[in-house]
Amino acid sequence: MAAPTLSEADISRLVRGRHDDPFSVLGAHRVGEKWVVRAHLYDAVRVSVRLIDDASASPVPMRRFHESGIFEAEIGNGASAPRYVLSVTGTHGQERQVEDPYRFGSLVSEKDLRAFASGRGIRMYEQFGAHSVTVDTARGTRFLVWAPAALRVSVIGDFNGWDGRYHPMRKLHDFGCWELFIPGIGPGALYRYEVVRQDGEAVAHSDPVAFRSEVPPMSASIVEELGGYSWGDSKWMEARSLTTAGQPMAIYEVHLGSWRRPADNPKRFHTYRELADLLPGYVKSMGFTHVELLPVAEHPYYGSWGYQVSGYFSATSRYGGPRDFMALVDALHREGIGVILDWVPAHFPTDAWALARFDGTGMYEHIDPRQGFHQDWQTYIFNFGRPEVVSFLAANALFWLDKFHIDGLRVDAVSSMVYLDYSRKAGEWVANKYGGRENLEAIELLRNVNTLVSERFPGAAVIAEESTAFAGVTRPAYVGGLGFHYKWNMGWMHDYLEFFRKDPIYRKHHTGLVTFALSYSWSERFIMVLSHDEVVHLKGSLLYKMPGDEWQKFANLRSLYGMMYGLPGKKLLFMGSELAPWTEWNHESQLEWNVLEYPLHAGVSKWVADLNRTYCEHAPLHALDESWEGFQWIDFTDVDQTTFSWLRFAPLEAAASSESGADAAEGPSEERRDAVVVIANLTPVPRYGYRIGVPRGGVYREILNSDAKEYGGSGLGNYGVVEAQAEPHHGKPFSIAVTMPPLSVLMFRAPSAPPRVRRKPAAAAKPKGAAAEGPAPPSAPAEKGATAKRGTKRRRV
């Protein structure tokens, strides 16, 4: 051929890396009666074409007609496009066989693309990103990315010198997506997308749906397949029940990078595999039922603790690869520990190589800063009304449950999502279509995600970190709620920390901080939290917040934990809380494990472990967390002595609750239900012979005493038991006189209820004047709870 069959314009656009339709010029094309093969190879000196279906045919040399590496050859006149490979001699004389990416058609179905574009692409991670596939006889990687406003998108990597001219992608015009299958590229290959924006600027981005990333501060994506891990948690997965009412849930909140560090190199992180050998056993020994991991999705800034995500589908490479993270989850499940993952759909960082301005426009984010920029965190806010973004986020939530067997998601910063004016002044936000402040699109997204999780992953839970009084957070989406399974009770946390900071002499003036949370405890399904947010940013450790001398600080802290476990709601403690460190959490080092050498710190650790076991073993402390029927104040009015007492109840046994007639009309009776009495003395003054009303007689067993010597206390107590006396008090028919140690919480297990005495059926009326058959029977025993009925009513705040 004397001249190339390409136009000068096409050659120029290829050379400049500005061709928006490379498949129209590269690969095999019919030119007249002949098939012409064209290739653009950045490191080739000589290239020839070898036909796959005609082994006897000699390779056809290709003519290089541009110094950038554009080659062309005529290879026959068959009826259909030929199948071929390229024999390439590189600049250093090396020879290799290359499958031409441009001889393959599209590998993406229109159905999947339409689902993604309509907001229904909840498994889009199976199409988008980098996937190893075999096409025809070629093994390679299929790439798919969304960038609707881009002029050109190329795959760049160590396989093409990071030069965007050599692997431009096919644009799927109706959907704003770009696709390319590159043979010979497999797991472990580094890559990015080079995106040419409308202004002509070329920007390299990591893959939004990459399954693995380089270890920060490097940021290239890595081709990775997630299959092949052999899970051993089938029993756990079949039985998990995070959403089942009445189950205990004691959560240990963990930041993987600072929980423990290797003893021989404390500057190094433990790997996921090393943590799999350490974390499950410790969590189990402490009696926790679940761990909640601060975000593990890839994040460029370690100091963000994972809350500024750059790789939503990539477990951070700081601790290993995806299968290593699977091994950690698997190990926790094998020990009976559930795994909850922090998920951050509210905002993302402004790093130019990640999601930000991906195609030069506001693609994932709103372009208007009043809607798309978070002033507090200096991050971008997702455009929750864009269908493709809805697909991206909904699929990401399901991805972690699907591929990594995660049992629940804790959604960060829900308040910032549902309110358009969150942390904004007048004029700094845009109202919704009705003129209101609610972000209707974000609300719809959350409802959608929560519904999908419930439908597709039974037993898994979604938890809201929502710090306002937004109504219906844990009500089902189908009745107008947000559909979360649980909500962090941050109001309780703030009130109780404020109360416990106060000198005991002033606490009597602030008892409302203790009781107020009980006025709304059943408005949502709550988790009571003492989270990482309260021990950072110069707030001090929990121990540091407590007033008094050293002994009183520890006693106050034990009392805080005791009240938390005695009140209704699931539980969450941030790692290190069980050690009672003097200093606040520092993500740059491991926890202060050395403090366990000291008795007071070791005592708190044992106290937390015993609280967890007691909470899980005693049904009254968890079985009716979500109902007011599981809680009743005994007395919260003794403000001068700053004591509080209450009852926790378990449900009636099935046999008792199946009664009919007049018995059933009375409803559950506190005298017949399994119960635990909780008593708190929140001053440093011991109380002797302190009388507490109780529902029935018998021996009350002291199951926990925060002042026990083994916890670092003074050892004051009740010798394990107290016997109830038939002396009414606090509206109860019986009472116990207890010794209340200073700054303490006590728990007593109520004696088992005696068998219920049923009424005999009423005898038929006798005719007037009929002789009596014998002496009159004694009066039928009164129903349990019938005496002093007014006094047995539950007293609530």
Which residues neighbour 514 within 8 Å (Cβ) at sequence distance 6 or greater?
A: 495, 496, 499, 563, 636, 644, 682
Is residue 504 within 8 Å of 638, Cβ to Cβ?
Answer: no
* H-helix or E-strand spanning residue 10: helix 8-16
CB atoms within 10 A of CB 1: 12
* H-helix or E-strand spanning residue 726: none
Answer yes or no: 368 catalytic. Answer: no
CB atoms within 10 A of CB 58: 9
The values of phi and psi at residue 573, to 5°, are -125, 135
Q: Indicate the residue type of 561.
A: Y
3-class secondary-structure state, position 661 = helix
Return the half-sphere exposure (C-beta side, CA atoms, 13 A cut-off) of residue 314: 31
Is residue 252 within 8 Å of 573, Cβ to Cβ?
Answer: yes
What's the 3-state SS for 691-723? EEEECCCCEEEEEEECCCHHHCCCCCCCCCEEE
Distance of CA 438 to the CA centre of its chain: 23
* H-helix or E-strand spanning residue 332: helix 322-334
Which residues neighbour 322 within 8 Å (Cβ) at sequence distance 6 or greater?
A: 211, 212, 224, 226, 314, 315, 403, 404
Beta bridge partners of 70: 40, 66
DSSP classification of residue 58: P
**Which of 746, 747, 743, 745 has the alpha carbon at shortest distance from 553?**
743
Strands 461-464 and 486-489: parallel
Question: Which residue is catalytic, options 207, 292, 465, 584?
Answer: 465
Question: Which residue is catalytic, options 412, 466, 534, 578?
Answer: 412
Beta bridge partners of 177: 146, 172
- Helix 272-285 × helix 322-334 angle, to 10°: 20
CB atoms within 10 A of CB 16: 13
**Which of 414, 437, 405 has the alpha carbon at shortest distance from 424?**
437
3-class secondary-structure state, position 411 = strand
Is residue 470 within 8 Å of 493, Cβ to Cβ?
Answer: no
3-class secondary-structure state, position 345 = coil
Q: How far apart are alpha carbons 741 and 722 in whole angstroms?
A: 15
- The position carrying tokens 């009500």 is 475
Is residue 449 within 8 Å of 389, Cβ to Cβ?
Answer: no
**Which of 132, 126, 129, 91 has the alpha carbon at shortest distance from 112?**
126
Which residues neighbour 769 within 8 Å (Cβ) at sequence distance 6 or greater?
A: none
Q: How far apart are alpha carbons 131 and 189 in whole angstroms?
A: 12
CB atoms within 10 A of CB 213: 28
* H-helix or E-strand spanning residue 310: none
CA distance readout (Å), 288 to 330, 557, 610, 703:
17, 19, 10, 18
Is residue 609 within 8 Å of 565, Cβ to Cβ?
Answer: no
Structure tokens at 223: 């081709």
Is residue 790 within 8 Å of 733, Cβ to Cβ?
Answer: no
Answer yes or no: 8 catalytic. Answer: no
Q: How far apart are alpha carbons 728 and 726 in whole angstroms?
A: 6
DSSP classification of residue 127: T
What's the 3-state SS for 752-794? CCCCCCCCCCCCCCCCCCCCCCCCCCCCCCCCCCCCCHHHHCC
Structure tokens at 63: 């003519």
Residues taking part in catalysis = 412, 465
